[in-house]
Amino acid sequence: MSNKKSFWSFFQSLGKSFTLPIALLAVSGILLGVGAAFKGDGIRSLIPIFDNPILLQIFNYMFIVGLFTFKNLAVLFAIAIPLALVKEDKEIAAFSGFIGYAIMNVAINYSLVQTGTLASADDMRLAGQSMIMGVQTIETGVLGGIISGIIVAKLHERFHTIQLPLAFAFFEGTRFVPIVTLFTMSLVGIFVVPLIWPVFTFFMNGFGHLISISGAFGAFLLGAGERLLIPFGLHHILTAMVRFTAIGGERLVDGEMVTGALNIFYTMFEKGIPIDTELSRMLVQGRLPSFFFGLPAVALAVFHTAREENKPFIKGLLISGVVTAIVGGITEPLEFLFLFIAPPLYVFHAIMTGLSYMLLGMMGVTVGEAGDIIGFIIYGPLQGLHNRWYLIIVLGIVWFIIYYLVFKWAILRFDLRTPGRDIKSTTENTDGTTDVDDIGNFTANKILKGIGGAENIVSIDNCFTRLRIELKDSSIINKDLIREGGGISVVELDKYNIQIIIGPQVQVMRRKIDKLLKV
């Protein structure tokens, strides 16, 4: 198959692989935030009940558990990426991912010792070195785990079915994968990382500095860029780079050099150091006006412009989309209602999100890592008024009015076929029965037929809200049938790869299709 196909298949899967550690990260961030908020001196002096020793132990434990994910994020990526990228023997790939990352750092340590560049404990941070899994090594951050995971995944694809001479048959097949990983990642750790990482770090720091000197406009580019990457499923990569690498900045925090905007935020939060706008404007607080106010306004505009007889059928879809955006910080179910129907409106949404990133930074809001309602409460009101969380609500009200007026005008002016504006119809099945073609009526059989049947599928997977499907030929798909089956929209990446936007119910749909494929 074509190189273009390989490119899209790889980056679809890579973006999806980020969702597993990011999902854990979201929960860990809540635990860390709740633990830090309620064990702090400020809240205990304000509300004496939280000074109870038992509650204090609970909050301390929540804080420690939450911190675990952030301290071990690189190895989590190193395991999750092979797990997601390979199609067979996933457990072997995950095991090899751990082996690969661990041995890479052991090999880096050996190289540093042999070249006399192993820094002392006092100079470790300044030398770009740190302790990882008990080994002093070059601090490659999460990017080291990502690179290690990708290499291991490629090794797995190449060698998991290898056949060896009879005398070595015990080591063939999947048993060979961790073995070849051991030797390959040893070479990577000894020769490659110590040679290229200083050069790579130089350019990464330069790019991070470029974003930093862009000031408020840099935050605008981050917010708008992330939204614009959503249709391609590549937004996780951008956010991961900003959160966990030098692109998001490097800072000396209480004598510890920390890399990545999110890592810096949690380190400062842990140590009780006030968050500044230079850091917070690069975090997800900038989404809140669009997530909490803008997209609910879109849902209201869609509801108000729908045909009266269709409103009862789309109400559930819109309400669940709003709840998902506010509670879970997942916006695709609402965004894909208009992305492909009216791309200019999506560009407008991306610009508005970028503007909210920029304006909140200019207004001195320092809520930081709050992309959902729980995070907003934890890092906003519970921390007092000094972080100016209330300005998010003020800006959000303005955003609600602008979004609603713009979307309602555009839907009516250009007669956009947003949900509920089509005449309700029925589709006759081969057995003579009919299925009501309404929003939220999920039919796995129709989606399977719509993508050309089982014989047209190479692979199928899913992320938070969409099916990611590799086909033998995407030109034969029936988008109308897919939409009848519950697909909100279809993204054709190239001749072989498509994404079907389902919403929060995507895992249920994926399981139903998997069952049909086994029949």
- The pLDDT score that the predictor gives to residue 433 is 42
Express each pLDDT in 249-258 by its tens digit: 788 888 888 8
Give the SS3 label for residue 37. helix
Express each pLDDT in 135-173 by its tens digit: 999 988 777 898 999 999 999 999 999 999 988 889 999
Average pLDDT over residues 343-365: 94
Instruction: Clarify whether residues 45 and 179 are in a common domain.
Output: yes
377 inside domain: yes
Instruction: Clarify whether residues 62 and 142 are in a common domain.
Output: yes
Number of Cβ within 10 Å of residue 72's Cβ equals 15
Q: Could you list the active site residues?
A: 463
232 inside domain: no
The answer to which of 153-157, 413-417, 485-489 has the lowest mean pLDDT is 485-489
The answer to which of 102-106, 122-126, 154-158, 505-509 has the lowest mean pLDDT is 122-126
Single-letter amino acid, residue 286: G
What percent of the chain is modeled with pLDDT above 90? 33
CA gap 469, 82 in Å, rounded: 18
Instruction: Clarify whether residues 64 and 177 are in a common domain.
Output: yes
Residue bearing the bigger pLDDT, 497 or 230: 497
Instruction: Clarify whether residues 318 and 406 are in a common domain.
Output: yes
Is the pLDDT assigned to residue 108 strictly greater than 90? yes
Instruction: Clarify whether residues 74 and 100 are in a common domain.
Output: yes
For residue 504, what are the domain limits?
426-518
Phi-psi map region of 119: left, alpha, beta (phi>0 left; psi -120 to 50 alpha)? beta
Single-letter amino acid, residue 479: K
Is the pLDDT assigned to residue 515 strictly greater than 80? yes
pLDDT band of 436, cuts 50, 70, 90: very low
| Nearest alpha-carbon partner for 145 in 73, 85, 199, 93 | 73
Instruction: Clarify whether residues 41 and 169 are in a common domain.
Output: yes
Residue appearing with tokens 């089956």: 485
Is the pLDDT assigned to residue 422 strictly greater than 70? no
Backbone angles phi, psi at 414, to 5 degrees: -105, 10
CB 447 within 8 A of CB 482: yes
Q: What's the chain's average pLDDT? A: 83
| Total tally of structural domains belonging to the chain | 3
- The pLDDT score that the predictor gives to residue 9 is 63
376 inside domain: yes
Task: Identify the domain boundary among 413, 448, 463.
Answer: 413
pLDDT band of 298, cuts 50, 70, 90: very high
Task: Identify the domain boundary among 183, 201, 219.
Answer: 201
Cβ-based burial of 507 (10 A; exposed 0-12, middle 13-18, buried ≥19):
middle
Backbone angles phi, psi at 434, to 5 degrees: -125, 150
135 inside domain: yes
DSSP string, 308-348: GGGHHHHHHHHHHHHHIIIII---HHHHTTTTTT-HHHHHH
Is the pLDDT assigned to residue 488 strictly greater than 60? yes
Handedness of CA 268, 273, 279, 283 (dihedral sign): positive
Instruction: Clarify whether residues 445 and 479 are in a common domain.
Output: yes
Instruction: Clarify whether residues 497 and 461 are in a common domain.
Output: yes
Name the most confidently modeled range: 105-119, 217-231, 408-422.
105-119
pLDDT band of 434, cuts 50, 70, 90: very low
Instruction: Clarify whether residues 133 and 192 are in a common domain.
Output: yes
Is the pLDDT assigned to residue 209 strictly greater than 80? no
CA gap 4, 8 in Å, rounded: 6
Its pTM stands at 0.61
Helix (H) or strand (E) holding 270: helix 261-270
Is the pLDDT assigned to residue 296 strictly greater than 50? yes
406 inside domain: yes
> What CATH code is carried by the domain that includes residue 493?
3.30.1360.60
Instruction: Clarify whether residues 64 and 165 are in a common domain.
Output: yes
Give the SS3 label for residue 258. strand
Name the most confidently modeled range: 112-121, 416-425, 499-508.
112-121
Q: How many helices (H) and strands (E) does the chain have?
A: 23, 10
Contacts 24+ apart (CB under 8 A), 116-122: 117/194
Instruction: Clarify whether residues 57 and 130 are in a common domain.
Output: yes
88 inside domain: yes
Beta bridge partners of 256: 253
Residue appearing with tokens 């910080």: 329
Average pLDDT over residues 335-340: 76
125 inside domain: yes
Q: What size, in residues, is the chain?
A: 519
Instruction: Clarify whether residues 116 and 163 are in a common domain.
Output: yes
- The pLDDT score that the predictor gives to residue 146 is 87
267 inside domain: no
Single-letter amino acid, residue 180: V
Task: Identify the domain boundary among 365, 385, 413.
Answer: 413
